[in-house]
Structure 1
Amino acid sequence: MAEKADEGNNESSKIKDAPATFKSKVWTYFGFYSTADGTKLDKDYAICKNCFAKVRYTGNTTNMHSHLSRHHPDLCEKSVTVAGSKPTQPGVDAFFQAKLSPSSARAKAITNGIADNMCKGLRPYSEVENEGFRFLINVLEPRFVIPSRKYFAEKMMHALYAKTRAKVESALDTAERVGLTCDGWTSRATESYMMFTVHFINEDWEIESYVLQTRAMQESHTGAHISDVLKAAADEWGLQAKKPVVVTDNASNMCVAIELTGYQHVRCFAHVLNLASQRALKVASVAKVLAKVRRISTFFHRSTSAAEALKRNQKLLGLPNHKLITDMPVRWNSAYEMMSRFLEQQPAVCANDISSAEEMVEALKPMLVATNIMCEEKNPTISVIAPLHAQLLRNTTSTEEDSPLVREIKGAINQDLSKRYQSEVEKDLLRMSSALDPRFKSLLFLSPEEVQDTYVKLKSKAAALKEGDPAPCGDVKEDLEDEVEPQSSSDTDTTKKRKSALVDLLEIKQYQDAPSLPLTEDPLLWWKSQQHAFPLLSKLAHMHLCIPGTSVAAERVFSTAGDIISAQRSSLTPEHADQLLFLKKNMNI
């Protein structure tokens, strides 16, 4: 034993410490032999001071770390930071921590978190290859191995899509009737897509909205092709039995498509407002004023010295520090905003007085208010169309006090609005929807004859609903004018039906006599509290008020689509684009 100890001491004495420039803590346990002439260190091999094993030295300490971890694990100790000193280099064990198993709960939670961030934050799959992202994950959890972008694209997104889709399908099963919005869009990669969203009222009288799908359309956007895509979407999601009502813009191909499907069609009221307002903006005298303001706004946007002068004038005059706005051709309300901002900043701009600008803004204000009302998503909007349409027709009727410019604006808007919603089927749907909204049930925008006609049709629908017959029933009013008592035993069923009709009529009468709900109140909350008092009408309200009054929901999704299919992701496949949009809009359910 003494001989072996002497041999170890002799061998240990031959090992020279590593140069002072070698800062790694691993050199505490390794050194070098001297060359044969003893003039310098032999750095081809590092020598373990514990077992005297020779470890190949290649300019880094990887081989030494591996040797210690494998043969001397007791020497692996954590680095200790001395109070008041700089942190020491991490211990050997820090480099050899066991990695998390992909099947562990911790690894799965982090992987799911990354996938959720990709969907909710619209991050590309290549995010996992980003140097900064990988550094962040390593700081948060050094043991986690980030899966590849292919793993997220081909496995995680498919799994999330399947899970979320199952929840959407489960929610749709509870819907009695649904409203669909449909619109087309072309990405920056010049690929055409057709978007569908669904809307319904759940059992708690809350409006639920989901993005169903965003499908690429290789064919031309004819009515027949759009009809095929719409019917395929309804079949895929099991919506045929829910009597869908489809809301689209006023494009002729959309109108043809819905007619071919046989679904009920409602034209987007926001689009109607845009068309009428755009027509007013094209009036020669209006276009001339807009051109002047647009040139002023563009000048201040392009000239830095003019922009600085504007800021100085704003401060001097105590005006808000707002920039001038330049309108966009596709959004009529951007012209309104441009004119309003110009009037606000006119003293600072030092422009000549454009007196007609104020008249234009005032004349267009009702259209802006109507547009903002129709952009609401949490409250029913189908019931707002008929009263709002009637109100706008009244507001755009010229008076003697109006200036020639205002008369032209009102005339253009009134003429365009007057030709909208002339179909009897569409008109009946809108009026009955308003009648089923406790805010508008008095139907003050209609004549007494039209009010009576609307409630007669509503009564007919209620009776058909009670009998379980989807087809319209006969005129109950005429039945009630006959004798109620049966003349023979064979007339018993007829008498029961008449008595039932009387009950239905009383329910409608009580509903009409109830106080109207203030415009600021939620009609769905009112129906939730009154559904037992008006069982038939509440079912009809459930089936009517779920229909959106605009296709704004689909258009808003396209704004998100533009963020997903960006210049950096223009090669994203249609399938992945569909999944990402679906998850972005539906993951929170």
Structure 2
Amino acid sequence: MSAVWNYFQVSPSDVKLAICNDCKASVMRGGTKTSSFNTSNLINHLRLNHSESYAAFVQQSNEKKQKGQAAAPKTRTQLTLKESTEKKQKYAKNPPRAKAINRKIIECIALDNQPFSIVQDAGFTKLVEFLEPRFAMPNRRYLTDVCLPELYSAVYSHVEKLIVDAVSISFTTDIWSSSVSQVSMLSLTAQWLDKDFVLKKAVLHSQECRGSHTAEAIASAFEGMFETWKIPKENAHVVVRDNARNMAKATAEFGVPSLPCMAHTLQLAVNGGALSQRSIADALAVGRRVVGHFKHSPLACSRFEDIQKELNMPVKKLQQDVSTRWNSTYYMMQSLVEQKRALSAYAADYELPTTLTASQWGIMEKMITLLEHFEQLTRDISAAEATAADVIPGVVSLTRLLAKTDESDKGVQTAKHALFEAVSKRFDGVQTEPLYAIATMVDARYKDRYFDPDKKEEARNMLLNVVDEMASVGNDQREDAAGASADDPGQEDQDPPPKRARTGSLQDMYQKILTENDVAKQATTGETATQVHAYLGEATILKTACPFKYWSSTQIRFPALARVARKYLTAPCTSVDSERLFSAVSHVIDEKRNRIGLHCNNAEMLIFIQKNLPLTYMDMGKN
């Protein structure tokens, strides 16, 4: 902008005029159109009428011109012939810039489940060409043979360094079979707590599992996977697997402790204890036929949406259940009951293959209330930081709820009793299983408050024995916890108190059991090790607080217990990590990639990168 505008301003009533700041005279800007405006008349006005302002204007203009000339070499826009020629030339494959772009492309393919053929897609190639015209797009073979192994090697090295520092590691494992190709894959995921009690997770393997899935074959595969990562068996705390006999036998033959997946056990309990009841099974069969009608008919689905809108109801689709997921059946019943009015209106105008009777509607509504506790527990144990410590409190609270009688149980008393029996049978002995009991004891949210009176002393003795054993073995390996806080962790670093759950909920039962046992604890006496006695004598932290943060700030006070916690709190209570891994595998080995012949070793590398690359970003402080 010209310096002359320091002495003028545009007329508010007519943009063709400029008002002089000194004499308030109106001066034409040089035309009637915006494109013809100039500053000549304004400069002449200053020169003829305001000599001092004109002199200041000339000085300001000269200073501005000199600054522009000094900056000109830095802002040169015209390229030399050599620069122009180089700009049109494509990068070779080896320069750092080209290698960096290749890496980002392979990261994109791995993280977003994209096929390697994306480098041939018109939209993607145009995008990359726009961002970097000099980049030559690689072909698929170069990506699979060069870029993929390079990135895999880099991520592998990072995970390997983390694994080496882990003193105690817990694992999950599962077997998955593809529906689009004759491929089965065996997973192995790991999680551990570092010296600061930060939970680390990594996918170690999702390798092809050829032949029959016998216990011997699976145990041999475990042997190979542990050797690959140079993990001693004594560093393996536990392997969480499903309830299949071949998996249980394989871990026993391999020689590492194992636990069944709690989510799988709940699945068996609900299916065997409630969903198999004749009246309930009949209601569910009718519900599945109703949902299936809308799933397979776009016309019926459109009509149903119109009815929902007429009734001022939110437009929602009915949910189909999956036989291997009991909670999907719960969600199906929920969706049906929510849309009861809309379904009744639909049945009045259009045909349905079948309809639910009043009795069946009542059964569904009561089963939703009954299974609500199971659904809450399933969500809790499937959380990323859920551990084996959550099993005993969850089972004890759930069985207490199922043992209570309530007026709302009318019509489903048999199912409720069957659920109680199934849960009690499936989880019989959890309070005496050391892997569960000790994990619960060192979780500051639970401690010994959830054990039956006749099991509490046994659990304390188990903890004392393990503390003594680990203290005698690891005295020379005592971690330096000088930087840890000695303040009472029960009063800091906790989440705000949660909103009170409704009466009769699973969360209410957790709190009720804690209150009962706090009172009982005050009257209990006995000789214990100093640390264990002091730790158990303190109040529990909030259920919503993080036990890892508790031990991070308390390890200086209870160093022997902290070593036990670092080992036993690594154990998850479900094999959810492996199941989520296979959800990703199903996207990698899909129909498109199966047709172009994606090899299993490439698929494993892609999954390994997808799951572990964010871990490298996190440790390097990247987003």
Task: Sort the TM-score into its range (normalised by shorter chain).
Answer: 0.7 to 0.9
Q: Which residue of 1 aligns with 2:471?
A: 466
1:376 aligns with 2:383: yes
Summarize deviations over 1:283-323 as a string: whole Å, max 9, x none.
11111111122222222333444333322332233222111
Summarize deviations over 1:297-354 as a string: whole Å, max 9, x none.
2223334443333223322332221111121212111111111111111111116542
Q: What amino acid is aligned across from residue 248 of structure 1 in structure 2? A: R
Classify the secondary structure of the residue corresponding to 1:587: helix
Q: What amino acid is aligned across from residue 437 of structure 2 in structure 1? A: R
1:556 aligns with 2:546: no
- 1:96 is displaced (CA, Å) by 8.3
1:416 aligns with 2:422: yes
Q: What amino acid is aligned across from residue 227 of structure 1 in structure 2? A: A
Within 5 A, what are the aligned runs for 1:6-21?
Answer: none
TM-score, structure 1 length as denominator?
0.75
Q: Which whole-Å CA distance do the structure 2 matches of 1:332 and 1:587 have between them?
A: 33
Q: Which has the larger radius of gyration?
A: 1
Of 200, 205, 215, the match for 1:213: 205
The share of aligned pairs that are identical, in percent, is 29
Classify the secondary structure of the residue corresponding to 1:244: strand
Which deviates more, 402-411 or 568-577?
A: 402-411
- 1:397 is displaced (CA, Å) by 2.8
- 1:173 is displaced (CA, Å) by 1.6
Residues 447 and 536 of structure 2 are in contact (CA less than 8 Å); yes or no, is this contact kept in structure 1? yes
Classify 1:236/1:303 alpha carbon distance in 2 versus 1 (closer, same or farther; 3 Å): closer
Summarize deviations over 1:390-448 as a string: whole Å, max 9, x none.
222222236374656422322332232222344689722211111110000132x3223
Within 5 A, what are the aligned runs for 1:134-153?
Answer: 134-153=125-144
1:99 aligns with 2:99: no
Of 570, 586, 607, the match for 1:546: 570
Within 5 A, what are the aligned runs for 1:233-248?
Answer: 233-240=225-232, 241-248=234-241
Q: Which residue of 2 aligns with 1:232?
A: 224
Q: Which residue of 1 aligns with 2:341?
A: 347
Classify 1:525/1:127 alpha carbon distance in 2 versus 1 (closer, same or farther; 3 Å): same
1:322 aligns with 2:327: no
**Unaligned 5+ runs, structure 2:** 1-76, 348-356, 476-525, 617-623
Q: Count how many residue pairs are aligned between Structure 1 and Structure 2.
A: 468
Q: Which whole-Å CA distance do the structure 2 matches of 1:373 and 1:424 have between them?
A: 18
- 1:512 is displaced (CA, Å) by 0.8
Q: Which residue of 1 aligns with 2:451?
A: 446
Classify 1:78/1:532 alpha carbon distance in 2 versus 1 (closer, same or farther; 3 Å): closer
Which deviates more, 352-361 or 572-581?
A: 352-361
Could you say what the CA RMSD is over the residues aligned between the two structures, in angstroms?
Answer: 2.5
Q: Which residue of 2 aligns with 1:121?
A: 112
Residues 161 and 583 of structure 1 are in contact (CA less than 8 Å); yes or no, is this contact kept in structure 2? yes
Q: What amino acid is aligned across from residue 115 of structure 1 in structure 2? A: I
Residues 380 and 545 of structure 1 are in contact (CA less than 8 Å); yes or no, is this contact kept in structure 2? no
Q: Which residue of 2 aligns with 1:512?
A: 536
Q: Which whole-Å CA distance do the structure 2 matches of 1:119 and 1:308 have between them?
A: 37
**Unaligned 5+ runs, structure 1:** 1-76, 80-92, 471-501
Q: Which residue of 1 aligns with 2:331?
A: 337
Classify the secondary structure of the residue corresponding to 1:457: helix
Within 5 A, what are the aligned runs for 1:383-422?
Answer: 383-397=389-403, 399=405, 401=407, 403=409, 405-422=411-428
Q: Which whole-Å CA distance do the structure 1 matches of 2:391 and 2:329 have between them?
A: 24
Classify 1:221/1:355 alpha carbon distance in 2 versus 1 (closer, same or farther; 3 Å): same
Which deviates more, 537-546 or 395-404?
A: 395-404
Classify 1:359/1:545 alpha carbon distance in 2 versus 1 (closer, same or farther; 3 Å): same
Q: Which residue of 1 aligns with 2:560?
A: 536
Q: Which residue of 1 aligns with 2:250?
A: 257
Of 574, 578, 585, the match for 2:600: 574
Of 509, 513, 523, the match for 2:547: 523
Q: What amino acid is aligned across from residue 162 of structure 1 in structure 2? A: S
Q: Which whole-Å CA distance do the structure 1 matches of 2:212 and 2:535 have between them?
A: 49
